[in-house]
Structure 1
Amino acid sequence: MKNEIVFKSAAGRQAILGVYDSVLEGWPVPFQMRRVETRHGQTFLIECGQASAPALVLLHGAGSNAAFWRGEVETLGRTWRVLIPDIPGEAGKSEERRASLSSPAYVEWLEDLFAAEGLDQVAVAGLSLGAWMGMKFAAAHPQQVSRLALLSASGIAPQKNSFLLLAVALMLCGDWGLERMARMVGGGQPMPREVMDYTKLIHREFNARLEVVPLLSDEELARLSMPVLLWMGEKDVMLDSRKSAARLRALLPHAEVEVSQGVGHVLPRMGTRIGAFLEER
């Protein structure tokens, strides 16, 4: 792991985690919290749902944490044992050191996390960077992943450099720029004020990951033999949804590939779509 500082200040860290704690206080279902030791430091983990049911791991995106799955756990927890870790090096309560995406660190992290939780086989749903991590793990250990849901997935087609440059400019424009950027990422969909305010807080007080997400190779993607869902929005300003869909269809004919009209990087009602995919036979 690098010794890269992810929070801009102690006060910023406290502010971000303070909102996180308030979200946990209003968690819609009973849950447990614990810390799990891995080769890459401690991982903060939320568990909810049915303890005796098959396991589902939810992986959030960059500059985020497990709190962003709050709206989906009630639906998914009815039939799954839901495990939601904070990804190390992101804006949560896990190890704050950040690893390079070109290293094996995040596959190793999931190996250790799954071993500690006794997960011989698991369904994985990932959003954006979390989808990339899910694919990397599933390519390395296809026998351990029963189903793989990829939402606004990074790493299939190149990121849009035009948005990266615009995002840098907007971040220099204060509160207005941060709100404008968040609405662009959301594809113009309505965003609750509390979600908008938390997103802006993280952008202000957290050092975003600047590393370009590496593309998975054809060989890696071809190893995804389990049922796969790729769901992206056609208005995604960060990723080329059309190229991502075309590449995955070509390499994985068995995958379900969906590009939704009028939707951006942030997808609506994710829990319902993930749940339907997981229940398919």
Structure 2
Amino acid sequence: MTRTAIGHFTDDGARATFLAAYDRAMELWPGPREELDVETSYGTVHVHRYGPATGEPVVLLHGHAGHASNWYPQIAALGEHHPVYAIDTLDDPGRSVQRAVAAGSAENAAWLGEVFAALDLDRIHLAGLSYGGWLALNQAVHAPERLASVAPLDPGGIGKVPARFYAHMIGGLFGLLAPRRWRPTLGRLLANPALSAPPEMIAPLMLAMRSYKPSTRPAARRFTDEELRSVRLPTLVLLGRRSALLRPAPALARVTALIPGVRAEIVERAGHGLNLERPDLVNDHLLRFISGAVSGAR
């Protein structure tokens, strides 16, 4: 669920090299954007902000080992009418600096809640991918007070992680070592959008694999039936048909049966990284869902 030790780079030189690549990756975002550091009980959390000064905020949580640049296809669309905040997860390589382990569900909800409070955010539309999707659902279960809606995208915590997920990760690593001209084809075969992503976005990932410790985290804890039944927010769950993390049909059946009023859908021609593989579709679904949640609150 979380790393069991404080995440860190092997040395200052490795961190500086990573951050230079990270800053280049963030140039994929439209501008202008603002960068903020928020102090929490678990460390300093780095946040990127884009969009208007008013409107209900959209907050984005990236997946395992990712960072805020991973949302670049969503920022302009979501930020047209909403302030958008993308958070570098506390225990992943990025500009956040961890000082204490957030060991369980309550602790993870606590540090994220501290970020929301420090930024004075309310009526938040919280979206997350993979581990970020787990964090989003976890917030809806344990600390929903500041949330207006939640949108987990191919999230952890819905079902047991299948063995093919680990094979998918290994295949993706080998794919990144292949000649660049082969990567888009390999990406389509493996349903791994990272293989055809801009090189600026991939460079920090490759650097972190070598210099960020610990480099792995346990699989996200599976939510109990009671936890999922407790979600009382408008909820959108999007699942990739070719997801390596989930078995989409059983995952769809579980969230539909347990989360009251959930809108859930399997996205065709998409794997685990569906926000990169089908960005226009994901943007359209998110915007329509958020618009409905805003209208329903009036």
Corresponding residue number in structure 2 for 1:221: 228
Which string of whole-angstrom CA distances, capped at 9 and with x for unpartnered residues, describes residues 212-243 of structure 1? Answer: 21011111111211111110111111222222
2:168–2:244 Cα contact (<8 Å) kept = no
Question: Deviation at 1:204?
Answer: 3.8
Corresponding residue number in structure 2 for 1:49: 51
Question: Deviation at 1:56?
Answer: 1.3
Question: Deviation at 1:59?
Answer: 0.7
Alignment RMSD, CA only?
A: 2.9
Q: 1-side partners of 2:97 and 2:60: how far apart?
A: 18
Superposition map of 1:86-235 within 5 A: 86-96=88-98, 99=101, 102-164=104-166, 167-168=169-170, 171=173, 175-176=177-178, 183=187, 184=190, 186=192, 190-207=196-213, 208-235=215-242
Question: Deviation at 1:187?
Answer: 6.2
Question: Deviation at 1:199?
Answer: 3.8
Partner-residue secondary structure (3-state), 2:218: coil
Per the normalisation by structure 1, the TM-score is 0.87
Q: 2-side partners of 1:104 and 1:43: how far apart?
A: 17
Q: 1-side partners of 2:193 and 2:174: how far apart?
A: 21
Question: Deviation at 1:91?
Answer: 1.5
Q: Against the structure 1 CA distance between its residues 169 and 48, is the aligned structure 2 distance closer, same or farther, given a 3 Å change threshold?
A: closer
Question: Deviation at 1:152?
Answer: 1.1
**Structure 1 unaligned regions, length at least 5:** none
Q: How many residues align?
A: 280
Q: Against the structure 1 CA distance between its residues 188 and 11, is the aligned structure 2 distance closer, same or farther, given a 3 Å change threshold?
A: closer
Question: Deviation at 1:88?
Answer: 0.6
Q: Give the percent of matched residue pairs that are identical in Structure 1 and Structure 2.
A: 26
2:24–2:200 Cα contact (<8 Å) kept = no
Corresponding residue number in structure 2 for 1:274: 286
**Structure 2 unaligned regions, length at least 5:** none
Q: 1-side partners of 2:207 and 2:164: how far apart?
A: 24
Q: 2-side partners of 1:133 and 1:174: how far apart?
A: 27
